[in-house]
Amino acid sequence: MATRAFPARSQASGGALSLDAWPARLDLLQSATGLALGLFMWVHMLFVASILLGKDAMWSVARFFEGYFLFGRSYPGIVAALVAAVIVLFVAHAALALRKLPSSARQYRAFREHQGAMRHADTRLWWWQAATGFALFFLASTHLYTMLVNPEAIGPYASSDRVWSGRLWPLYLLLLLVVEIHAGIGLYRVAVKWGWLGSAAPAGRRRLRGLKTGLTAFFLALGLLTLAAYMRIGFEHRDRAGERYQPPVLVAPPGHPS
């Protein structure tokens, strides 16, 4: 006989039953890690897009995160440490999100039937978030590992060579589409879940959905322009792939990989 699962309860001292608080705590952790990762991705896109301002701008941003302007030389280990922190957040968020995914073909069919019957906009958004999240397991993991083991290979030429000569532009194109859709939906759903930005009211939720769409479109357009710039530089630099960029004004110290 099939049994129905209910939230775990514990017997309080006065005889009353109390609900287990752990599911709520895990939901809070899932929202917190998702919020941190979503905001990080938007800020990360703005830094990566510095290539649109020129090679010198991108070189300066890359060296800034290596501590060049603070210590007088670059320490790529700083970047590796930041990437490691992002990986921890990524894995924690993925593990927490797995609790919400259908765990069997029966649950999947039930969800799809309810989705088709309700035709609810936010339910469709959840489905897209789940699908893009699954894709990120593979796409984001590849990128994060590459950055973790090669933190020094960031710069106008190094990054462009990786994109073009390293033939990674198809992966970055897919990653861009998937991560921006996932981040936009995720941040919208966090705001709705916790009632932020007036999302408790139907009108506020509609405004928030419009803001989500606008921000996703903006970062997708910015990302496509940025990827195209790296591909162009990589194509032009293909015969000298592996050579590092040296800015004409600010010359790096001896032995410094730009």
Domain range summary for the chain, segments of one domain joined by +:
27-240
Distance CA(219)–CA(223), nearest Å, equals: 6
CB 90 within 8 A of CB 144: yes
Query: Looking at residue 198, what is its pLDDT?
Result: 83
Give the CA dihedral 219, 43, 150, 97, nearest 10 degrees.
-80
Indicate the CATH number of 27-240 among 1.20.1260.10, 3.40.605.10, 1.20.1300.10, 3.40.50.720: 1.20.1300.10
- Structure confidence by residue, pLDDT tens digits, 70-115: 998 999 999 999 999 999 999 999 999 988 888 788 887 887 777 7
Query: Looking at residue 116, what is its pLDDT?
Result: 77
- Structure confidence by residue, pLDDT tens digits, 13-63: 555 556 778 888 999 999 999 999 999 999 999 999 999 999 999 999 999
Q: pTM surpassing 0.75?
A: yes
Distance CA(139)–CA(133), nearest Å, equals: 10
- Structure confidence by residue, pLDDT tens digits, 198-227: 888 888 888 999 999 999 999 999 999 999
CB 154 within 8 A of CB 64: no
CB 66 within 8 A of CB 75: yes
Distance CA(26)–CA(33), nearest Å, equals: 10
H or E element that contains 10: strand 9-11
- Structure confidence by residue, pLDDT tens digits, 125-168: 888 999 999 999 999 999 999 999 999 999 999 999 999 999 99
Query: Looking at residue 15, what is its pLDDT?
Result: 53
Distance CA(213)–CA(210), nearest Å, equals: 5
Interhelix angle 202-236/156-163, rounded to 10 degrees, is 100
Most distant pair of Cα atoms in the chain: their distance: 78
Kindly give the residue spans of alpha helices, DSSP state H, lying in 119-201. 121-149, 156-163, 169-193
Query: Looking at residue 17, what is its pLDDT?
Result: 55
